[in-house]
Every structure is written in structure tokens, then in C-alpha cells.
A and B are shown apart, each in its own frame.
Chain A
Amino acid sequence: MLIDERSCVGCGECLKYCPMRAISLEGETAKVDQDLCAECGVCARLGVCLEDAFVVPPELPWPRSIRSIFSDPLTEFEATGVTGRGTEEMKTNDVTERYKPGWVGVCVDVGRPNVGCRLRDIDTLARAIALLGVEFETLNPVSYLMESKSMGALMKEVLDERVVSGIIEFTIPVEKVVEVVQALKAVEGEVDTVFSVGVISRVVDGDIPARRHLESAGMSVAPNGKTNVGMGR
């Protein structure tokens, strides 16, 4: 995002709306720190600037274009055909059967909540996960940026790009779920951000095997989450 310095009156009204704290006042003008800006578009979309000083770049060059894909919820990722950072994951599992009994999906939401991240952080976590021999979800922007799925390694030219968040998605046999969480805990100190972890499981005759595995290992699961109610076909 850019600011037209001739239009900006330096009121500072826009500063509090930036998720990345990329906007600051320099004298009489607001400035966008291009390194911090994740191109989420919220500043322009909200219409808080009475002078209409925000300038949306017509087209972002590669690899900066990645920022918008990961950060602007209204930007569509061509490979998946949907907006946003991940996939339909379990939301349409009653139709797609992407997650079958005996398997679980894991979503590692890097940079979330409210911190943001560099793709370098995603690379660090994906490499740790790859050592467990997981199957990365193909139709996902993070997987699309991997130069080696077996190593979980992202393309070098994207590592410094800053985004609001990115999701590493993969499937594993249900009995490996505890091992995966332990692997993530082992490297959590190596990233300069936060990450939220979600585990997707089929409900089999009322039973949730993945939850049993996690709780028996002393891992707590939030009481609230998402339930696909099986209406799709």
C-alpha cells in the first residue's frame, strides 16, 4: 500500500487500523513502511481516510504479490480458486472426503493471531514438520511456494516477504498426531512470531480418535471449534 503525500494531511486517523503497525506519522505525513506492510488492504478498504490518500498498487510485482495472497482475505489464489490463505479443509469434508477415518489434518496458522510473520518463519516450521514424513496439502499457497515438499523448504526468494499469516496444511495418520505437536513445540522458540494449531478429525460413531490421542498425552484441546454437520453431498 502507498500513501499519496500530496493528499495526506497527517491526521493520523489511519494508524490504528493497520494490522502490521506499518503506518506511522513522519512530520505532517503518514508513511507506510514497505517492509512491514503485508498488503492486506484494510487501510484503503475501510475508507477511514477522508482525503482518499491511500493508493492501491495496480499490480504487485513478484514476490511481493505473495503478501496480498496471504494477507488480504479478498484476494483469490489462482491455484486453489478460492480467496484466502488455505483451502476448504474440513469445511467441505462431507463432500470431498479429504480427511478419512484413521487420518487427521493439521493446520499450523503461522503469524496468527495479531502478530504477522515472515515466510522465513513458515519455512522453519515446515522443515521441522517435513522430517516426520507428512503429506503437505497440494492446493495451499504455502505448499505451492515449496521448492522441496520432502524437505518443507520454501523458495529462497520469498523468505523475507511479510504476511498477516500463512497456513501450513498436511495430513498424517491419527496415531502420529501427538508426535507432530511435540515436533512443533520443539521448534517454537526458533520463530519470531506466534502460531495457532488446529487438528481436523472425522467423527466416527460419536468418537473422536484424535482428541483421545491428544488428551491422553496431556495436550489440551479448546472446548470450542468447528463442526461440519454432514449436510453436503
Chain B
Amino acid sequence: MSMTHTLHRKRGPGEAPGDYIVFCMAAQKRNSEGASGKLVAMLDVLAAGAPCNVGDDNRGGILTGLTLEEIRAKAGDKAYMAGVYTSLDQVKAVLVKLKELDTGMSVVVTGDFQEVFEVVRSAGLEPHTINMSLGIFGKRELLPREPVLQITTMCGHSMVCPDHVEHVMDLVRKSKMTAGEAARDLAKPCTCAMFNPDRAESIISQECVGRNRECS
């Protein structure tokens, strides 16, 4: 998939970092022919790094109902393999292993630039190109409220709906669902597998239960 899906993840005021995505892909018609095996090997590295979500942007992920074996089996040369992490140590370990694997496929990390640059360099790599968000323009009055937006923008395709977020938040408030169950329910429509359920759980807890569970 091609787009800016992890670019505009909206952070809450004072929200600590703890939301990182590593994704791997071939450049179509440049180094994509026969790339599926390399991308599956990279998926295995991503999956071994204790991600809270992992999958193939073109097919889905472990929170949309696929198993790792199914993701491997369905992978083609156009696969976009993604892993979502909550700590920089995880990101560094994954980058070091991907560097050792040396597939020649492109790797992108989403997260705070300052943190990511440090981690990238500590893994013996150098930032090449960045994509920066300048924020939201236009009729901002049409947007959902802030905590909902923090959750929905974790799916850049807008497959996670504000009404769905409000619905599960209401269930959590009524103790009919835990914040963790709510977060995993919200991850289901996100076929790119880049939704961070741990962060969503934390936001829902803060919003509905009044306590902020630390991501680990």
C-alpha cells in the first residue's frame, strides 16, 4: 500500500512516546521481483521482536484474524510487512537484526524523529529521507473529539470509526468490556496491521477508567 498511513498519528497533550512502527517493503519494478521470500524473512524478524501488532498491509495482521503462518503463506512481492512496538529497545533490536539480514528491501520507522534518529544511528544506520506532518487543515469542526482522534488516526485509512470508538468506550464505562478488549476490538478493521492496541488501551483507560496503564 502506498500512502502516508502512519504519518499523521495524533498525540495527546503530554502523551509520552511509546508508539513505533517498523515496516519493510520492496520498490515496485526496481527490486520487487522475487521479493516475497525476503519480505517473509523480514516479517519473521518483526514478529520475533515482541510487537503488539504485526502483519502485511496488503492482507491484514494478527489482530484482523490472520495467523503468522497465513500472513507468510499469502505474502507476495508487493507485501508491506509491519510491526508495531511500544519501546525503543524493541525497535533497536529489530533494526539490528534487519540490518544483519541485509535483504536490500526498504525499511521505514515511524515515531518521534529525535528518538528514532538516535536509535537508527545506534543500530549503525543513517536516516535517509523523512516524512513530516504539518497537521490538519480545513473544517476541523468536523473532526471527532481529541481522545477519539488519537485512536482513529492509528489507522491511516480511517477504517477505525469514531462511532465504533465511542461505542466501546461506552461499554468500558459500563464495565461491560475491559479497555484491553475494547482496544483489540478497534484493531479489527485496520487491515494494514499498524494499529497499536497497547496505546489504544492506555487512551481508553485514561478516558473511561481514569487511570493510565503504562505500556511495556
Contacts and interface: CB of A to CB of B under 8 A. Distances in A.
A188 B138 contact: yes
Contacts of B188: 46
B137 A45 contact: no
A227 B108 CA distance: 5
Contacts of A17: 161, 163-164, 189
B28 A88 contact: yes
Determine the interface band of chain B, counting residues with CB < 8 A from chain A: 35 or more
Interface in B144-167: 144, 149, 152-153, 156-159, 161-164, 166-167
B2 A231 contact: no
B116 interface: yes
A69 B68 CA distance: 27
B216 interface: no
A83 B56 CA distance: 12
Contacts of A188: 137-138
B72 interface: no
A141 to B, nearest CB: 10
A93 B25 CA distance: 11
Nearest to A109: B4
A49 B137 CA distance: 36
Nearest to B117: A227
A200 B129 contact: yes
Contact of A114 (B25, B103, B137, B144): B144
B8 A82 contact: no
Interface stretch (B47-55, B119-127, B172-180, B205-213): B119-127
A223 B120 contact: no
A196 B134 CA distance: 7
B191 A89 contact: no
A209 B209 CA distance: 44
A222 B7 CA distance: 10
Interface stretch (A26-34, A54-62, A73-81, A151-159): A73-81
Given A113-B149, A225-B110, A228-B108, A197 B2 contact: no
A37 B81 CA distance: 29
Given A198-B134, A231-B106, A107 B4 contact: yes
Contacts of B3: 84-86, 89, 109, 167
Most A-side CB within 10 Å, residue of B28, B29, B126: B28
B114 A92 contact: no
B90 interface: no
| Centre residue among B17, B27, B113, B138 by max chain A CB count within 10 A | B138
A229 B125 CA distance: 6
A198 B8 contact: yes
Given A112-B158, A203-B130, A195 B125 contact: no
Contacts of B125: 229-231
A196 B135 contact: yes
A203 B126 CA distance: 9
A3 to B, nearest CB: 18
A229 B8 contact: no
A233 interface: yes
Contacts of B29: 81
B143 interface: yes
A16 B5 CA distance: 22
Contacts of A208: 130, 132
Given A84-B2, A113-B8, 6 more contacts: A95-B106, A167-B4, A195-B138, A198-B8, A229-B107, A233-B31
* 10 A-B pairs with least C-beta separation: A232-B106, A230-B128, A92-B27, A84-B1, A95-B27, A222-B133, A16-B163, A86-B3, A226-B131, A194-B138
29 contacts: A16-B163, A17-B189, A18-B163, A19-B161, A73-B1, A90-B108, A90-B130, A93-B129, A94-B129, A105-B131, A111-B158, A113-B10, A113-B136, A113-B143, A114-B162, A167-B4, A192-B139, A194-B142, A197-B133, A199-B132, A221-B132, A222-B8, A224-B111, A225-B7, A227-B129, A229-B127, A230-B125, A230-B126, A231-B106
